[in-house]
Chain A
Amino acid sequence: GAVVSQHPSWVICKSGTSVKIECRSLDFQATTMFWYRQFPKQSLMLMATSNEGSKATYEQGVEKDKFLINHASLTLSTLTVTSAHPEDSSFYICSARGEVGEKLFFGSGTQLSVL
């Protein structure tokens, strides 16, 4: 299957700082990438959808100024959590689909802990 690389796998930061998470498709061109948030023992919560070269589409209730998404190339999308606070602590996962699109591949996830 296709490989999606996500970094870092975990990050601890102080409240008020910004954190950037990278998501790369290693062996295919990702026309669309999705960012999810997952709380313990819960399913995936879609935060936003990003298409290469255009602005991300955010789900209702997700602050676009807090969660900045950039999808500048067909292999890279980034999520920046700006001015992070303890309530932003969570497991963030990216996923990507290729040009054909019917399959969705996930990164390994990033555990963010804000102190």
Chain B
Amino acid sequence: QKEVEQDPGPLSVPEGAIVSLNCTYSNSAFQYFMWYRQYSRKGPELLMYTYSSGNKEDGRFTAQVDKSSKYISLFIRDSQPSDSATYLCAMSARNFNKFYFGSGTKLNVKP
């Protein structure tokens, strides 16, 4: 079983839709959770960072962590064509010696 599972998509939505991206994980030691956006042939860009359980909002983006279910989500409101990219979830335990990544979900927002 992989440490982190993420549906690869692709996910295609119309402009303005609410997008929900999700990851599940198996290691209960993970405490730090991140979402990255990666455009083709570019390095991943950190979008959201969350420590432990709870919600965090930043503009159109909301990150949720449910440690009891080992489930994290990223919501994008009012999606734009410029949001079309691959979204990677990542997580780490307290020692930060290693970061575990999902396989990435490719999102396409159609104008």
Using a CB–CB cutoff of 8 Å, the interface residues on chain A facing chain B are: 1, 4, 6, 32, 34, 41-44, 46, 49, 91, 93, 95, 97, 101-109, 111
Chain B residue at minimum C-beta to C-beta distance from A34: B99
B41 lies within 8 A of chain A by Cβ: yes
Report the Cα distance A66→B32, complex, angstroms. 33
Are the C-beta atoms of B103 and A43 separated by less than 8 Å?
A: yes
B42 lies within 8 A of chain A by Cβ: yes
Using a CB–CB cutoff of 8 Å, the interface residues on chain B facing chain A are: 32, 34, 36, 41-46, 49, 51, 88, 90, 92, 96-99, 101-104, 106
Instruction: Chain B residues near A41: list those with CB within 8 A.
Output: 106
Question: Which of B44, B96, B104 touches A101 (beta carbons < 8 Å)?
Answer: B96
Tell me the interface secondary structure of chain A in the complex.
strand
Interchain Cβ contacts under 8 Å between A and B, 5 examples: A44-B101, A102-B49, A104-B46, A107-B43, A111-B41
Are the C-beta atoms of B43 and A106 separated by less than 8 Å?
A: yes
Report the Cα distance A49→B92, complex, angstroms. 14
Question: Which of A6, A34, A103, A106 touches B49 (beta carbons < 8 Å)?
Answer: A103
Instruction: Chain B residues near A106: list those with CB within 8 A.
Output: 36, 43-46
Known: A1-B46, A6-B43, A106-B45. A44 touches B88 (CB 8 A): yes
Report the Cα distance A111→B41, complex, angstroms. 8
Instruction: Chain A residues near B92: list those with CB within 8 A.
Output: 102, 104
Report the Cα distance A102→B96, complex, angstroms. 6
Question: Which of A6, A32, A43, A105 touches B96 (beta carbons < 8 Å)?
Answer: A32
Instruction: Chain A residues near B90: list those with CB within 8 A.
Output: 104
Are the C-beta atoms of B43 and A93 separated by less than 8 Å?
A: yes
Report the Cα distance A106→B103, complex, angstroms. 16
Chain A residue at minimum C-beta to C-beta distance from B90: A104
Are the C-beta atoms of B42 and A105 separated by less than 8 Å?
A: no
Chain A residue at minimum C-beta to C-beta distance from B92: A102
Chain B residue at minimum C-beta to C-beta distance from A31: B96
CB distance from A88 to the nearest CB of B (A): 17
Report the Cα distance A34→B100, complex, angstroms. 12
Are the C-beta atoms of A103 and B46 separated by less than 8 Å?
A: yes
